[in-house]
C-alpha cells in the first residue's frame, strides 16, 4: 500500500459510471423503470450489489486501503437502450475513493448482466469510467 500517514485528512468525493447496453428483448420488458426477472428486481439488486462492492473494494483490489465510507450512492437510469449506472462515494480521509466508486459501478453493471443473462445474452457492458474526483492533491472532472 501507499504510505498515507503524512497526507492531510480532507473531504473526498468520487463519481463513476458504467453503461450497460441491453438488446431489444430485454428493453421490451422494462416497466416503470424496473426490470423483473426470475431472480427478482434487477436494478434494485444492482444498487445493493454496488454499495456492497464499494465497501469491500479493499478486499478485491490489491493495495487499496480499507476505508470506512461515509456515503455511497448508486443510481440507475434507463436512457434509450442503455442502462446508465452512476455512483458517488464520499469520505473524510487521507486517501481518495475513486476505486470504491469504480468498483461500485462495475459490480452493479455485472449484476445487471447476471440477472438478465437467462433471458438474453444480448447485453454489453461499456464505458466504465471515473467522472470526477474531488479532494486530495488535485481535482479531476471528465470533460463530456
Q: Examine the residue annotation and report whether 114 is marked as an active-site residue of this protein.
A: yes
Dihedral (C-alpha) 79, 53, 144, 21: value to the nearest 10 degrees? Answer: -30
Torsion angles phi and psi, residue 111, rounded to 5: -65, -40
Beta strands in the chain (DSSP E): 10-22, 36-37, 40-41, 71-79, 82-93, 123-134, 140-141
Catalytic choice (3, 33, 71, 114):
114
Are 110 and 124 a contacting pair, CB within 8 Å? no
List active site positions.
Answer: 114
Amino acid at each position: 500500500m501507499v504510505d498515507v500517514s503524512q497526507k492531510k485528512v480532507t473531504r473526498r468525493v468520487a463519481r463513476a459510471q458504467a453503461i450497460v447496453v441491453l438488446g431489444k428483448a430485454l428493453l421490451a420488458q422494462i416497466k416503470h423503470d424496473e426490470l423483473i426477472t426470475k431472480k427478482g428486481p434487477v436494478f434494485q439488486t444492482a444498487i445493493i450489489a454496488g454499495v456492497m462492492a464499494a465497501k469491500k473494494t479493499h478486499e478485491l483490489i490489491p493495495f487499496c486501503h480499507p476505508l470506512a465510507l461515509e456515503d455511497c450512492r448508486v443510481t440507475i437510469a434507463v436512457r434509450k437502450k442503455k442502462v446508465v449506472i452512476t455512483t458517488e462515494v464520499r469520505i473524510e480521509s487521507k486517501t481518495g475513493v475513486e476505486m470504491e466508486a469504480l468498483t461500485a459501478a462495475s459490480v452493479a453493471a455485472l449484476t445487471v448482466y447476471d440477472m438478465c443473462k437467462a433471458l438474453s445474452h444480448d447485453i454489453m457492458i461499456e464505458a466504465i469510467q471515473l467522472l470526477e474526483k474531488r479532494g486530495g492533491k488535485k481535482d479531476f472532472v471528465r470533460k463530456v
